[in-house]
Structure formats: structure tokens, C-alpha cells
Amino acid sequence: MDSHRFTVRAACSVRSPGRRLPSLARAGAAVLATLLALPAPQAVAADAGRAAAAGHATATSRAADDGMTRRMQACTPCHGKEGRATASGYFPRIAGKPAGYLFNQLVAFRDGQRPGAAMAGLVALMDDAYLRDIAAHFAALDLPYASPEPLSAAGTPAVRALLARGEALARHGDAARGVPACAACHGERLTGALPALPGLIGLPRDYLLGQLGAWRQGERRAAAPDCMATIARRLDDNDVAAVTSWLAAQPPGADMKPAPVEGVALPLPLACGSGLR
């Protein structure tokens, strides 16, 4: 496979956070879907059923894991080795994210609530049970995080002010504008929380910009009430630049695992249709 065909450049910049990644070729996605050699969903269910009936669940599920690891190598050209993307570029890391979050995203790509031609093509024919297996597979991977790319002009007063604003938003929010702290939902360490709140550390800035832009424009939609759509619209362009720049500049901490659900104070400061399920 020619992985160069799938190399894309981010279309976002600090000045135009609303612009998104150009669509990836549908044809390329179709080729990949074929390469994935997915088992028919019935076959997966039948395997599980047979394993349970025969009492060889452990051996069979190990074999199934190996099969999953092999099939999921089709995700590597874009998401990095074993779902571990780099800290630059556009592709989000998927390894180690909460399983509930990954599942919700795969469903959203399939059902058209989240744009992404490449992803939609891959998951178009997969049923919920298979998407759950994929989500569980990547959620269970525990791999090191890449260090962020150094910011250009990091030392200038303008950039220092931008980063200070970004940190304030992430840790404290902006009460006057009705923006809660990102940490209130994404976890104290901003590494996400179970079952379905994603971490914000370890994502490339262009990807963060793309997501907030997509929410502002109504292109990415999460289950109602879509708290992220509300938050993204309450942030102005400078805030979006500030918070994404600060988040993307944070080095990975010692423990990047999502917090347990008890680690998040409930109720969340805004109601969210996803995140807690």
C-alpha cells in the first residue's frame, strides 16, 4: 500500500480555526476498508458464542486479539503505529483513549454526525458490536506519548500572553462568558475521564483547532445536549488559538491514563449528551 497517498496537511491555522482538513479521497478509504479484511459481524458473534459454549474462552479470545491487532494495522498509516500518532500534523492518537469515547466517535463517523470521509468509508459497514470491539482494542493499548513540537516564537510577549490565556481557560474557564474550565470535564490532568470523556493532552494543535472549528460550524455533532458545541461557540477566535496552543504545548505527564469516573465532579458544569456514556 502506498501510504504517501494518505499524507495530508492540516488546513488550519491560528488565524482561521474554522477551516478544516480537506476531504481525504474516498477511493483511498475504500481500498483500506478492503485491506481491513473485516470478518462479517455474524462471524464475530458466532466465534464468541462458540468460545463460550466450548469453555475455551481464554484461548479463543487471545486468538481473536491477535486477529484484531493484525486487522487494526490498517489504521496505522494515519493514526501511527498501534494507534499512537505523533504530536504534529493532523491525525489524532487513538491508543489509550476511553473505550466509550472511541465507540461514540466510530458510531458518529458511521452515522454522519461527525465529518471525516476517510473514517466514514472505513466504518460504513461495521455494526455496533464490531465498533465496540475496535474501541476496546485501542482503549487497552498503553503506549508512550510523543513530546510536543516546540512552539515557534514561544518566548515573545504576545505568545506568552496567548499561552497564559490558554492555561487560564483550560484550568479555570471564563465565568463571564459562561465557559467552564476544560478540566472540569476533561479531568484534572486533562487526560480525559471514563467512560467517554477524551483527554486533551497529546493531541496536535491543528487537530484541536479543526475540532473546535467543526463544532462552531455545526459540522461535528455529539449527542444532545452537545455541550462542546455550546463551549466552542462561546470561545472567540483568540480563545480558540490560546487554548489549543497551550494544550498542544503541554508535555505528556507520567500518568496519561483517563481518570476514573469518580475523578470528575458531578454534575458536569454543562449537561452533555455524551461523555458519561
Instruction: Give residues in contact with ligand HEC (CB under 6 A).
Output: 6, 21, 24, 28, 32, 36, 72, 74-75, 77-79, 91-92, 94, 102, 104-106, 116, 118-119, 122, 134, 169, 179-180, 182, 184-186, 197-198, 200, 203, 208, 210-211, 222, 227-228, 231, 243, 268-270, 272, 274-275
Quote the least distance from Cβ 108 to ligand HEC, whole Å: 6
DSSP alpha helix (H) spans, the chain: 26-35, 41-54, 57-71, 76-79, 99-111, 117-123, 128-139, 157-172, 182-186, 205-216, 227-234, 237-249
Q: Which residues contact 155 (CB under 8 A, 6 or more apart)?
A: none
Q: How far is the CB of 29 from ligand HEC (least distance, A)?
A: 6
Our CB check for ligand HEC shows the closer of 136 and 268 to be 268
Distance CA 225, CA 28 (A): 34
Least Å distance between CB 222 and ligand HEC?
Answer: 4
Can you read off the three cell numbers belonging to residue 142? 498503553
> Angle at CA 209, nearest 5°, toward 168 and 115?
135
Nearer to ligand HEC, 49 or 144 (CB): 144
Least distance CB 213 / ligand HEC (angstroms): 10
Contacts 24+ apart (CB under 8 A), 147-155: 147/87, 147/251, 147/252, 148/87, 148/248, 148/249, 148/250, 148/251, 149/87, 149/88, 151/245, 151/249, 154/249
Nearer CB in complex with ligand HEC: 45/269: 269
Q: At 119, list the grid cell.
A: 473514517
Cβ closer to ligand HEC: 13 or 54? 13
Q: Which is nearer to ligand HEC, 254 or 269 (CB)?
A: 269
Which CB, 56 or 70, lies closer to ligand HEC?
A: 70
Q: How far is the CB of 160 from ligand HEC (least distance, A)?
A: 19
All 3 cell numbers of residue 68? 484484531
Nearer to ligand HEC, 31 or 151 (CB): 31
> Shortest distance, CB of residue 69 to ligand HEC, whole angstroms?
12
Among 44, 148, 151, residue whose Cα is nearest residue 87: 148
Q: State which residue, 8 or 48, has the beta carbon closest to ligand HEC.
A: 8
Q: What's the Rg (C-alpha) of the chain?
A: 19
Q: Shortest CA distance to 119 belongs to which of 89, 90, 86? A: 90
Which residue from 130, 110, 128 is spatially nearest to 119, judged by alpha carbons?
A: 110
| Minimum CB distance to ligand HEC, residue 120 (Å) | 9
Nearest distance from C-beta of residue 163 to ligand HEC, angstroms: 14
Q: How far apart are CA 90 and CA 248, in angstroms?
A: 12
